[in-house]
Structure 1
Amino acid sequence: MGILNVTPDSFFDGGKYKDEAAILTQVEKMLIDGATFIDIGAYSSRPNAPDVSETEEKQRLLPMVELILKKFPETIISIDTFRSEVAKEAIAIGAAMINDISAGNLDNQMMKTVGKLGVPYIMMHLQGTPKTMQQNPNYEDVVKELLHYFSRKIAEAKSHKINDLIIDPGFGFGKTIAHNYTILKQLEVFKMLDFPILAGVSRKSMIYKVLETSPQEALNGTSVLHTIALQNGASILRVHDVKEAMECVKLVGIMRA
């Protein structure tokens, strides 16, 4: 899953794709490099990011969906939003799935909406909100608490007739670096939920803070963690660098053959 942030302030590529030409060039590159999905987000969920109104999110996002599908009509577009109205309008113009960082917690109409739309739904775990999530995140047993959380959320999703679910443990969303590595080490445990697991570790602080570098210098570390995630049960990698991630997928696949 290739990441396309049409935001001015995302932690790695904020403001990088400001015009149509830059967006289409990046999408084409990700598709050529092997991306199965393109995940478009117009609301930065990095810690302490400023709020974006629903109107502004739509104004950033919806024209980009139309632009991409006009140029690359076969593209499977995932919409990174926690707002049900944004989800509904994006699906109406051709997007294919919804990626919700809050699993419905930030909009109580989201699951009902996704159920009616009949599209796949990525449910992520988030402790708190994007503004508060890194203010002393605390768990007695992070893996056990995430399993309980997803068990409840899966039951809620099924009650709304959502059957195509993907589980995202939410690396970096309300977790310390230690929490993130505990989850990564025990990622295979989440296979008991019987849904595909998405791992989103690309260029995150759990890499560059440990290596004492920066998001821009975190590609090698990202590839290492992508390999571990795949070995531990991840089915989807959400990435900034599709070519390098696909190399991980291919090499791990050969190891399994």
Structure 2
Amino acid sequence: MDYKWNWGFLLEQVATGENTTYLGWLGIGLVNTILLTASAWVLALVLGSVFGVMRTLPNRGLAFLGTAYVSIFRNVPLIVQFFIWYFVVPEMLPVSMGDWIKNLDPSMQFFVVSVLSLGVYTGSRICEQVRAGIQGLPRGQKSAGLALGFTLFQTYRFVLLPVTYRAIIPPLTSEFLIISKNSAVASTIGLLELSGQARQLVDYTAQPYESFVCVTLAYMLINFVIIRLMGFIKNRSHIPGLLGD
């Protein structure tokens, strides 16, 4: 293979005239990926918790809404959801709100849409994990909470959910890792995260191997941090004997 490796190009000034290097471009992509992953994860955890709880409530209407959320967003390809959020949703909103979104700075618009797309999609997956976690608990826990005088809301908040979150940390870790990799889809609507910046580097430097090796190492670093962080949370929140271990 007649390929000339050249790692030095990373320290060269970018050809667009910006006051940065190609390594700086990758740094911007890394920051965008981290911010997107963290923001979408928070949104997904909130939505997944809310709709997961709704799916376990005795109220059939709320349970149906939770089921509909999962059925719609989990079964539509992620890239399609990105396009819907970016092209369709602003046209369906009231004119003033739609115009506000369209007039945002492009980079902010790409970021907001990406957070919504990733967060809502991943939330539909976390919803099922929360539901399974709650339904996997002994029924006596809910009855005990109600017998102590807690309302149903207080029973979920103080009794069921604290145990559920401890039980589902492993699958939540997997979803955290998946959302960091799914963030690459955001480049399809223009957000220059890691994979988008890598393609931009290839276009300007014709050094594809070096560019994607750097991106691969960056993703590995992100995933390593996520695993260590979730492992720390698991160890700190572990209550011996609570879940049978």
Higher relative contact order structure (alpha carbons within 8 Å, sequence separation ≥ 6)? 2
TM-score, normalized by length of structure 1?
Answer: 0.26
Richer in strand (by share): 1
TM-score by length of 2: 0.26
Specify the structure having the higher radius of gyration (Cα). Answer: 2
